[in-house]
Amino acid sequence: MSTVAEIIRDALGYLRVLDANEAAEAEDATTAMRMLNLMMHSWQANNLALGWHEVTNPTDILPAPKQAEIAIACNLAVLLAARYGAPLDQAVIDHARYEKANLISAAIRAEDARMTYDLPRPAQQRVRDTVEDDP
């Protein structure tokens, strides 16, 4: 699993404001974490539940599935682009849309996969199968 700092570094790397081997400064990490939390809470509010909980430290493990990391990093870059005044490549924007759409699609398929079971009811709730003759 990746740490929050790694996802932030990836997002800032997409913006080309941070070198791939460089760590984000404390102020940048704090800002990016705040925006990351806001973005993920927004996703959850819009029925894209990934099990997110608030992160407070760059060393925290990212509380999301591994397959969601690229979508999170790309979308965080899109969210941070205006703050840094950095032009974002169209390829990153397209990839952010594509990866988020994949997450939504997977969530819809998982929701549709729910099964209903036709389990027997307790005896008190059963409808009588036979009608007794009146005496």
Other CB atoms closer than 10 Å to residue 97's CB: what's the count?
Answer: 14
The answer on pLDDT for 96 being more than 90 is yes
| Secondary-structure breakdown of the chain: helix, strand, coil percentages, each rounded to the nearest 5 | 55, 0, 40
pTM, rounded to two decimals: 0.78
Which residues face 3 on adjacent strands? Answer: 61
Instruction: Flag whether pLDDT at 4 surpasses 80.
Output: yes
To the nearest 10°, the Cα dihedral for 102, 99, 59, 55?
Answer: -60
The vertex-30 CA angle with 46 and 42, nearest 5°, equals 5
Least confident of 56-60, 75-79, 107-111: 107-111
| CB within 8 Å of 72: residues ≥ 6 apart | 7, 36, 39, 40, 62, 64
Handedness of CA 48, 65, 29, 60 (dihedral sign): positive
DSSP string of 124-135, one letter each residue: GGPPPSS-PPP-
From the CB of residue 17, how many other CB atoms can be counted at a distance below 10 Å? Answer: 18
May I ask the CATH architecture of the domain 4-112? Orthogonal Bundle (1.10)
Q: What is the pLDDT of residues 104-119, one digit of tens each?
A: 988 776 554 455 666 6
Q: Where are the domains of the chain?
A: 4-112
